[in-house]
Amino acid sequence: MAVKIRLSRRGRKKLAIYDIVVADARSPRDGRIIEKLGNYNPNSNPAIINLDVDKALDWVMKGAQPSQTARAILSYKGVMMKKHLQIGVNKGALKQDVADKKFETWLKEKESKINKKIDSINEASEKDKTKRLSEEKAYNKKREDDIKKRLEEVLAAEKAKEEAPAAEEAKEEAPAVEEAKEEAPAAEEAKEEAPAAEEAKEEDSKK
């Protein structure tokens, strides 16, 4: 029986999670499985992989063929590296303790790279968050300035409307003032003519 290590899909639409399983090569993708080795969640960055390395190595050593994606996952978790070292031990090219030390060194280097990647992702996320926050503050300030400007324009327009009737009244009163000024000289002349009339009356009485 040909045995494969592959992924079995589960989870919601567009949020799929995959089980890493050992199954008969003739079984459908989500069909009957022989053993579950772990799971793979590609929805996070970096992807979350839970894998039983020893079980996976045991199946690979027995001849189970991983699919392309499963091989990438096994390689990422060190199963393929451990297989390479174990073959060397089986052939007598390496001792078991030397192979174990080499694997531990490789694993530490791999974890260091993963941690650096996580740190860079977190740093980029913080920078993006700070940038978006500053852009949001700038937008809010611009919006407040625009609202303040529009409010000032509305108040100025209302003030202009209130002052317009007063200006009209002032214009209407202006001709009356001018007429009063024109009538003032005539009144002065009348006052000047009044003594002359009095004098004429006195002369007539003396006669």
Structural domains in the chain plus CATH codes: 3-94 (3.30.1320.10)
Q: How many CB atoms lie within 10 A of CB 160?
A: 10
**pTM tops 0.75, yes or no:** no
Q: Token pair for residue 132?
A: 């978006």
Residue 157 one-letter amino acid: A
d(CA 114, CA 180): 98
R_g of the chain, CA atoms, integer Å: 50
Q: Report percent pLDDT > 70 for the chain.
A: 79
Contact, 88 vs 94, CB < 8 A? yes
Residue 117 pLDDT: 84
pLDDT digits (tens, 9 = 90+) for 8-59: 888 888 889 999 999 988 887 777 889 999 999 998 888 899 999 999 999 9
